[in-house]
Amino acid sequence: MRIDAIERDVVISHIIFAVICLAVLMVKVNVSVGVKLFHLVVLYDLIILSIIMWFKYNELVDIWVLGFVLSLFMVFPDWFLASQLNVLSFPQTGFFRIGPVSGYMLGLWTIPVFMILFTGRSMQLRYSRVVTYLFVALVSLVIFALAEQFMWTLPSWHARNVFTIGHIAAYIIIPEVIFGLSAYACYEFIRGKNHWLKVPCAFGVMLLYLGSASFFYFLIEKIILRP
């Protein structure tokens, strides 16, 4: 019953957050998109932390902390893709920037990471590890594909100078699935352990994503699709 209660409360909180996001992003007020996204990121973290503290769902602590730390590190791959490979663009959104990367990205990755880890955890309580990892791969694909397809409309970021399917950069599909799988493997390893262990583990996941993004960019753009 406790497992069902956690899932129910997390799902309800995400539905509420989604409704708030639609309202904030669609209502025309004299506030920049960057500021809106920053406040939505902060609101998401506050909602998750409120659930953890109010309902004593300590099982969620490892998921949120890992997601938050990993999100901080993910500025580096975004910076590399934008500045060195020139395949990612962050338009001016009226918010501070870290190099070419919009500042709200420091926390934005927390949202998809939390969703991936939590759904993976729920699956593993019911099914085998193989099924769980297959599900995590599918969830990662869906979440990141939807983000790539629609986030440019805000605008937040968009792919450039690469082959795309709709607005989804073809080279990044596999790296994003690898990212989801490695993040979940990291969660399995650090679950219940000292929070400081999450820092090197998250750093390793970031490096794996950065390396796989670079490799598949080279493979797809420079070898398979070479002009």
pLDDT at 3 (0 to 100): 60
Percent pLDDT > 70 in the chain is 98
Neighbour-count burial of 193, counting CB atoms closer than 10 A to its CB (0-12 exposed, 13-18 middle, 19+ buried): exposed
**pLDDT tens digits, 166-218:** 999 999 999 999 999 999 999 999 998 999 999 999 999 999 999 999 999 99
Q: If pLDDT is split at 50, 70 and 90, which confidence band does 5 have?
A: confident
**pLDDT tens digits, 12-48:** 999 999 999 999 988 877 788 999 999 999 999 999 9
Across 72-76, average pLDDT: 97
Place of tokens 């309902």: 55
Nearest to 13 by CA among 45, 56, 39: 45
Extended strands (E) in the chain: 88-89, 97-98, 101-102, 158-159, 164-165, 168-169
- Residue 143 and residue 183 in contact, taking contact as beta carbons nearer than 8 Å: no
What's the chain's average pLDDT?
A: 94
pTM attached to this predicted model: 0.94
Spatial CB neighbours of 99, under 8 Å, sequence gap ≥ 6: 79, 82, 83
Place of tokens 């670079």: 214
pLDDT at 28 (0 to 100): 79
Across 86-109, average pLDDT: 94
pLDDT at 216 (0 to 100): 97
